[in-house]
């Protein structure tokens, strides 16, 4: 699917990978609905895109709440007329919390946002895409942490592994013209990562061989949107190998 003239809904769209993807899709002619909990920042980003001539709108929403996700899609249809591309990108981490500590609680929110949020959004997006006809593309943000162990962030790893196998399991929707894929970035320079502190950033960057920039992940999302052969695909984005695919799955291949 070529982005020109298409409507893209991007959660976590106010910063990091979501923002970089919004900017790249806009440069290819897409119209944008940005969704984020950060209202002030989201409105600012949408205004900046509008000033550049991009048809963009912002909505504050919590991806863990069915009513918010439904309103996200209803808002996109009211504002833009339809939805073609959905990038379910919102995510959080345990933020250094020890899951095994008795007082551990953030892990529940991590699962809610990273896994439930993607499942809920995909469910409602497929319903909309079927209703409006014409197919569509859904890209779910997973992580290399869903493919390899993460002793320091086991819940994050579990949530992203769930996203990967959920997305793979929906490859059959391509028969209806709806392609669901997952993208797995390695360590990426985002506000979420920077919130862990500079020392943590340096340490993990050294462990994984460097740090990616959000624009590199955006290029991967664009490829998944454009490549009609990809359904149930799991794209990896790493410093060492660039873009490649795990569990190679290609329609007609």
Please identify every residue annotated as catalytic. Answer: 156
> In what helix (H) or strand (E) does residue 66 lie, and over which residues does it extend?
helix 66-80
How far is the C-alpha of 235 from the C-alpha of 103, rounded, in Å?
36
How far is the C-alpha of 84 from the C-alpha of 119, rounded, in Å?
18
Contact 27, 2 (CB under 8 A): no
Using DSSP's 3-state secondary structure scheme, residue 84 falls into: coil
Sign (positive/negative) of CA torsion 18, 245, 140, 206?
A: negative
Long-range contacts of 147-156 (CB under 8 A, 24+ apart): 147/184, 147/234, 147/236, 147/246, 153/93, 153/94, 154/99, 155/94, 155/99, 155/107, 155/110, 155/111, 156/93, 156/94, 156/110, 156/114
The DSSP call for residue 148 is S
Cβ–Cβ contacts within 10 Å for residue 82, how many? 15
Contact 94, 156 (CB under 8 A): yes
- Range list of H helices, 133-232: 154-169, 191-194, 198-208, 214-226
């Amino acid at each position: 699917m070529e982005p020109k003239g298409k409507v893209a809904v991007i959660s976590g769209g106010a910063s990091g990978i979501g923002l970089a993807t919004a900017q790249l899709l806009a440069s290819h002619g897409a119209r944008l609905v940005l969704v984020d909990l950060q209202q002030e920042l989201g409105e600012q980003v949408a205004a900046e895109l509008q000033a550049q001539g991009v048809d963009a709108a912002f909505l504050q929403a919590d991806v863990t709440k069915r009513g918010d996700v439904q309103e996200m899609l209803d808002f996109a249809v009211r504002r833009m007329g339809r939805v073609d591309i959905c990038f379910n990108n919102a995510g959080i981490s345990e933020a250094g919390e020890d899951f095994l500590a008795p007082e551990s609680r953030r892990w529940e929110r991590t699962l809610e946002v990273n896994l439930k949020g993607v499942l809920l959004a995909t469910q409602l997006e497929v319903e909309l895409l079927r209703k409006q006809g014409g197919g569509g593309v859904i890209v779910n943000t997973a992580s290399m942490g869903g493919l390899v162990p993460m002793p320091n962030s086991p819940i994050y790893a579990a949530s992203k592994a769930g996203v990967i196998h959920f997305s793979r399991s929906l490859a059959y929707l391509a028969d209806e013209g709806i392609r669901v894929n997952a993208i797995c970035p390695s360590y990426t320079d985002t506000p979420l990562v920077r919130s862990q502190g500079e020392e943590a950033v340096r340490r993990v960057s050294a462990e994984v061989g460097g740090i990616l920039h959000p624009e590199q992940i955006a290029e991967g999302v664009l490829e998944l949107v454009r490549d009609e052969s990809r359904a149930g695909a799991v794209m990896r984005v790493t410093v060492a190998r660039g873009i490649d695919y795990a569990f190679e799955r290609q329609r007609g291949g």
